[in-house]
Amino acid sequence: MLRTADKRLFVGERLSRVTRPYVVSAAESSGKVGTTASGTPNTKGSWAEVIASTSIDADGFTVQTYNTSGSTRDTLIDIGIGGAGSEVAIVSNLQLSHGTSVGQGRSIPFPIAIPAGTRIAWRNQSTVASTVIVMTLILQKSNMLRRMGFRRCETYGAVTADSGGTGVDPGGSANTKGAWSELTAATSFDIGALLVVVGTRANSAVDASHEQLLDIGVGAASSEVVVLPDMALRASAVTDLYQPEFGFYFVDIDAGSRIAARSEDNQTDATDRLLDVEAIGFGW
């Protein structure tokens, strides 16, 4: 039964939908801003300022980027807030795989609130020294994002030693789920949504296009319960990348939970079948 206070909130929300069927949205864009990896592979470069001071109270933001390198590499991106030299990452180690085909584009949502007057910067590390990543960050103020109410996120499964994610091997039997690979031993807060990111482990020569089905599971080793089943992936011999690279899913995962991933592949090539996986959890 709803408490009186809860009833007032519920009625107020329903009433607002009648009297205000939509809320006028606002947006702010950084324009294209590049960030350069360190001259040492797999090492974070310097922060590059994206927006000196945000002009709106944003309910979330979208990162857009595309491949300009034309060569295979893995990168990890941090997005931070705060003054120059005092940046704090609000998104850590977002995995971006780059294939041999120029033009590979991404649009990645982050429903995390950022108040007006905030400085935003980003940095990257890569398997290739001094890699330049060009991205645009679009801040959004909208009714839908506000209802999510997420205030933070945490990345599970990133491997900074090779600028990628956690390796998942479907195994040598076609169309059969392989072993679970742990992304985190314990989540640090209650999760309401996951952004699942995949990559080809910087494989510059995918021999033949093939398909995978990826599971995300929760629970102790050997007792995992699938919470996101059979996410369909396709590796391309043209781009040397998996598609889609990103998937945003609403899922409830308790704080302290272990998260793992497994997959199956319709072919068994020992190199092509491997993939990198990370999951970014959103919570309050």
Q: What is the pLDDT of residues 141-153, one digit of tens each?
A: 877 676 677 989 9
Predicted confidence at residue 14, as pLDDT, reads 40
Written as six digits, the tokens of 199 are 């990559």
Predicted confidence at residue 20, as pLDDT, reads 42
pLDDT more than 70, % of the chain: 84
Distances (CA, A) of 132 to 49, 103, 137, 201: 14, 14, 16, 19
Residue 64 has pLDDT above 90, yes or no: no
- Considering only residues 282 and 25, tell me which one the structure prediction assigns the higher pLDDT: 282
Name the 3-class secondary structure at 53.
coil
Predicted confidence at residue 11, as pLDDT, reads 40
What gap in Å lies between CA 265 and CA 209, rounded to an integer? 11
Domains and CATH numbers, the chain: 26-147 (2.60.120), 149-283 (2.60.120)
pTM summary value = 0.82
Give the tens place of pLDDT for each residue, 237-262.
777 777 888 889 989 999 999 999 99
What gap in Å lies between CA 123 and CA 27, rounded to an integer? 23
What residue has token string 């992936």? 233
